A and B are shown apart, each in its own frame.
Chain A
Amino acid sequence: MIPASFEYAVARDVPDAIQLLASSGGEGKVLAGGQSLIPLMKFRLAQPALLVDVNRITGLARIRENGDLRIGALVREADLDTNPIVRERYPILVDTTRVIADPLVRNMATVGGNLAHADPANDHPATMLAVRASIVAQSQKGERVIPIDEFFVDTFTTVLGPNEILTEIRVPKPPARSGGAYLKLERKVGDFAIAGVAVMLTLDDKGRVVAAGIGVTNAGPTAIRARKAEDILRGQTPDDKTIAAAAAAAAGESKPWSDLRGPADYKLDVIRVLTQRAIRKAAARATGGK
């Protein structure tokens, strides 16, 4: 319940934050929303020597469209949820943010944190994989843009360097006749996912899938992109047979483990079922439905 002591510094801006991290010799951590970090610190599972508080950095909490959708790393989940642009054109992000933890946690938790923490049970990774997002990060070497497919390495591990800070998430603007959905099964509201599936589809004027993105939450050490499932959908009309085949493939590509959220083969069935349901919902949204 009581964290160990630490040094605390408020970063003025991103370069200052990077500098503070660098000065800590790898013993520093970014404090953004803190909704994953602080619980770990309270159990003393994490004992960083220095916390670099980035919450006062202006300019990191904006949501704007510049061709693509640009979400500042410090955007709180609650603000992603209510943003009119997101509500209007990126309902898959609304689906995702609304099932993260609970409404109170979402007032503090940040989109950037959800991705950088890289808990395979976090929800944004699967969605960002499905929508082919990019991660913008800054370090002493400057800024780089990392495609989401390269971002997640292992449980709690991304390609971010120890003194590198995630500053922005870029989501491509979906073309016409696109729809996406994120479905999560949880034991109760506020829990991590038993499994979660994000599906992003673009259809042509004949209703065939032109582009497909499928991400799975809690499918192994990281969230995964179900590429085989995407391949099955591409070029096809999403009829029952195709959907079933894609869903089976998504489960086949997933490697969930047995734990208190259910046995592994149950989770595989859930992935299959959620994939089917998410495909149907995404397709409906692509054709103007809800």
Chain B
Amino acid sequence: MAVQTAPTTSRGQRTLKINVTVNGAPHEVEVEARILLVHFLRENLGMTGTHIGCDTTNCGACTVLLNGRAVKSCTVFAVQADQGTVATVEGLEKDGKLHPIQEGFHQEHGLQCGFCTPGMMMTAVAFLATNAKPTELEIREAISGNLCRCTGYVNIVKSIDHAARVMREPAEGKA
């Protein structure tokens, strides 16, 4: 990984050039160091699927995958993603085919207003990559950093379980 060192200068709004691959597409953008990753995605790249729900790193609506890990993009600076990869909700669907997690949320009514949903799904995608056959408690623990006000979580748990089953048995196709 190439390392970039910025020479210190007087305090001011200097920008830095960063290279970030988002959902497989490379982007080279000049940003201030203080730009939060979530604002970089939403404003610089116009990808508004990742949402902002709080200012104290509690709600998880902003969850994306940074170098494969689910993180709260409101608590990461865009410059920290330089040379890295980011995966967002916009990248889940591939060639017109929904990701099993998206199917799961739709089939199991895992969303109502939809605002927490991208964050929930990204958390779930990363989680299911480490745990293919989770128990209900494990799913609840995995999403304990993502708040929802609409669903009461029951159907979110079912949605993730649905996706897990589909991903375990792709040949059968049906969950």
Chain A positions 10-42 with a Cβ under 8 Å from a chain B Cβ? 10-12, 16, 20, 23-24, 31, 34-35, 38-39, 41-42
Chain A residues, CB < 8 A from B33:
5-8, 51
A interface, over-half SS: mixed
Chain B residues, CB < 8 A from A274:
none
Answer yes or no: A56 CB below 8 A from chain B CBs.
Answer: yes
Chain B residues, CB < 8 A from A103:
70, 123, 127, 141-142, 144-145
Chain B residues, CB < 8 A from A7:
6, 8-9, 11, 14, 33
Answer yes or no: A176 CB below 8 A from chain B CBs.
Answer: no
Answer yes or no: A102 CB below 8 A from chain B CBs.
Answer: yes
Chain B residues, CB < 8 A from A10:
3-6
Answer yes or no: A153 CB below 8 A from chain B CBs.
Answer: no
Chain A interface residue count, Cβ-Cβ cutoff 8 angstroms:
42
Answer yes or no: A105 CB below 8 A from chain B CBs.
Answer: yes
- B3 near A34 with CB under 8 A, answer no
Question: A39-B75, A190-B58 are contacts. A102–B144 as well, Cβ < 8 Å?
Answer: yes
Chain B residues, CB < 8 A from A34:
75-77, 80
Report the interface size class on chain B.
35 or more
**Cα–Cα, bound, A104→B6 (Å):** 29
Answer yes or no: B92 CB below 8 A from chain A CBs.
Answer: no
CB distance from B124 to the nearest CB of A (A): 11
Answer yes or no: B60 CB below 8 A from chain A CBs.
Answer: yes
Chain A residues, CB < 8 A from B34:
2-6, 41
Chain A residues, CB < 8 A from B3:
10, 12, 56
Chain B residues, CB < 8 A from A11:
5
**Cα–Cα, bound, A107→B144 (Å):** 13
Answer yes or no: B72 CB below 8 A from chain A CBs.
Answer: yes
B interface, over-half SS: loop
Answer yes or no: A137 CB below 8 A from chain B CBs.
Answer: no
- A9 near B5 with CB under 8 A, answer yes
Partner of B57, one of A2, A5, A35, A49: A35
CB distance from A113 to the nearest CB of B (A): 13
Answer yes or no: A55 CB below 8 A from chain B CBs.
Answer: yes
Question: A1-B55, A5-B32, A6-B33 are contacts. A104–B79 as well, Cβ < 8 Å?
Answer: no
Chain B residues, CB < 8 A from A102:
60, 144-145
Answer yes or no: B69 CB below 8 A from chain A CBs.
Answer: yes
- B146 near A49 with CB under 8 A, answer no
CB distance from A227 to the nearest CB of B (A): 35
CB distance from B155 to the nearest CB of A (A): 20
**Cα–Cα, bound, A261→B4 (Å):** 43
From A106, which residue of chain B is reached at the shortest CB distance? Answer: B145
- B11 near A42 with CB under 8 A, answer no
- A50 near B145 with CB under 8 A, answer no
- B58 near A108 with CB under 8 A, answer no
**Cα–Cα, bound, A51→B5 (Å):** 12
- A108 near B75 with CB under 8 A, answer yes
Chain B residues, CB < 8 A from A101:
57, 145
Answer yes or no: A200 CB below 8 A from chain B CBs.
Answer: no
Answer yes or no: B71 CB below 8 A from chain A CBs.
Answer: yes
> What 7 A-B pairs have minimum CB-CB distances, sorted nearest first?
A102-B145, A8-B33, A104-B145, A107-B69, A1-B55, A189-B144, A3-B34
Name 17 interchain pairs, CB-CB below 8 A, sorted by A: A6-B33, A7-B14, A8-B79, A10-B4, A31-B80, A34-B77, A34-B80, A38-B57, A39-B56, A42-B36, A42-B74, A53-B80, A55-B80, A76-B69, A104-B70, A190-B58, A190-B144
**A9-B8, A12-B5, A23-B8 given. 17 additional CB < 8 A pairs?**
A5-B11, A5-B34, A6-B34, A20-B8, A38-B57, A38-B75, A38-B77, A43-B55, A53-B80, A56-B3, A78-B69, A101-B145, A103-B70, A104-B145, A107-B70, A107-B71, A108-B72
